[in-house]
Amino acid sequence: MYKPGIGGVTGGVGGLAVTGANLSWWISLAVASIIAGTLIALFAHRRRRLSREDGN
């Protein structure tokens, strides 16, 4: 259960540990976010490159 103010921990990994959150769920969320961000960046770069080539 969440207990605010224990040891001055208000967020981050310590906050997750205090709440008893399942760490593997947070790790999988982080991995999915990294993959999604990489794909978004790659597709945006590809779209910009293709639009630049069409203008020539």
Q: Is residue 12 part of a domain?
A: no
Report pLDDT for 49.
83
pLDDT in tens, 11-45: 555 665 555 567 788 888 999 999 999 999 999 98
Q: Is residue 1 part of a domain?
A: no
Residue 2 lies in a domain: no
Mean pLDDT for the stretch of residues 44-54: 83
Residue 8 lies in a domain: no
- Structurally, the chain folds into a number of domains equal to 1
Question: Is 9 within the bounds of a domain?
Answer: no
Structural domain containing residue 50: 22-56
Secondary structure of 19-56 in the HEC alphabet? HCCCHHHHHHHHHHHHHHHHHHHHHHHHHHHHHHHHHC
pLDDT reported for residue 13:
58
Tell whether 55 is covered by a domain: yes
User: Full-prediction pTM beyond 0.75?
Assistant: no
Residue 10, SS3 per DSSP? coil
